């Protein structure tokens, strides 16, 4: 029987985070009246990511090319639900957030959206300023953060899914396309302000504030950099330890 909504999680070597994410999703889905499914895209992992996904009741599909947008699209192609929800492997979703996203899509007046974001660790003043600056931009410009994106399957398909021309910022390009298409059909793009999607703060440990600032400057001055995986190490490289 087809699902009413599908949650898609791209995952590359996420054995340390995935179980927590799936536990939060299973708890959230328990309170939803509609039928849901969880699809984890194993993006060529070398650890126990796929086994952990199956143990927690998720369907697993394999994508051999390491690219976040490609992993998201591969999972979406297996989805049977009309409502698509993309969640990062290190992100917790509260029941009220999942319910609000589904209610928005079920209203017939919303083509998709995202959520404001928080981190699961204490933040320095600089990190908190950066996060809240993004949240203000997200709400004002109606741009979804990659850790939580929701949309109607027909609008996702019409937009061609996430752009596979880029190795980062694919959620921004999709947000823009969904907003344009939604406007044509009288549906808006909604950023949920509360509750927030709670993502891991691990990159704040892996990369100091100066490294993040340099990255921001590079992407601002040379936006075409997201077309090259070598220049998107922030999203693909991890410390060896």
pLDDT digits (tens, 9 = 90+) for 119-177: 998 888 888 888 898 899 999 999 999 999 999 999 999 999 999 999 888 999 999 99
Convert the pLDDT of each residue in 182-211 to its tens digit: 999 999 999 999 999 999 977 777 766 556
Alpha-helical regions (H) of the chain: 18-29, 49-55, 68-77, 95-106, 125-141, 153-158, 170-184, 202-206, 209-221, 233-236
Q: Which of 105, 95, 86 is nearest to 161 (CA)?
A: 86
Token output for 90: 């290190």
- CA distance from start to end of the chain: 44
Domains within the chain, CATH numbers bracketed: 5-201 (3.90.550.10)
What is the reported pTM? 0.92
């Amino acid at each position: 029987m087809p699902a009413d909504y599908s949650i898609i999680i791209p995952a590359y070597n996420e054995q340390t985070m995935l179980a927590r994410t799936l536990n939060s999703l299973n708890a959230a889905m328990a309170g939803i009246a509609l039928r849901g499914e969880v699809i984890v895209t194993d993006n060529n992992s070398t650890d126990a990511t796929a086994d952990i996904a199956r143990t927690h009741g998720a369907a697993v599909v394999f994508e051999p090319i390491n690219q976040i947008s490609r992993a998201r699209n591969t999972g979406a192609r297996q989805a049977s639900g009309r409502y698509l929800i993309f969640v990062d492997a290190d992100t917790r979703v509260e029941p009220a957030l999942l319910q609000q996203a589904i209610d928005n899509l079920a209203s017939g007046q919303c083509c998709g959206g995202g959520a404001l974001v928080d981190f699961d660790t204490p933040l320095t003043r600089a990190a908190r300023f950066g996060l809240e600056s993004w949240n203000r931009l997200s709400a004002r410009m109606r741009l979804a953060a990659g850790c939580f994106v929701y949309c109607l399957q027909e609008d996702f398909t019409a937009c061609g899914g996430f752009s596979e021309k880029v190795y980062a910022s694919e959620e921004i390009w999709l947000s823009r396309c969904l907003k344009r298409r939604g406007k044509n059909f009288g549906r808006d793009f909604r950023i949920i302000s509360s509750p927030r999607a709670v993502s891991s703060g691990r990159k704040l440990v892996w990369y100091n504030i100066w490294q993040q600032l340099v990255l921001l400057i590079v992407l601002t001055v040379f936006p075409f950099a997201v077309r090259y995986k070598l220049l998107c190490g922030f999203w693909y490289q991890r410390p060896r330890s």
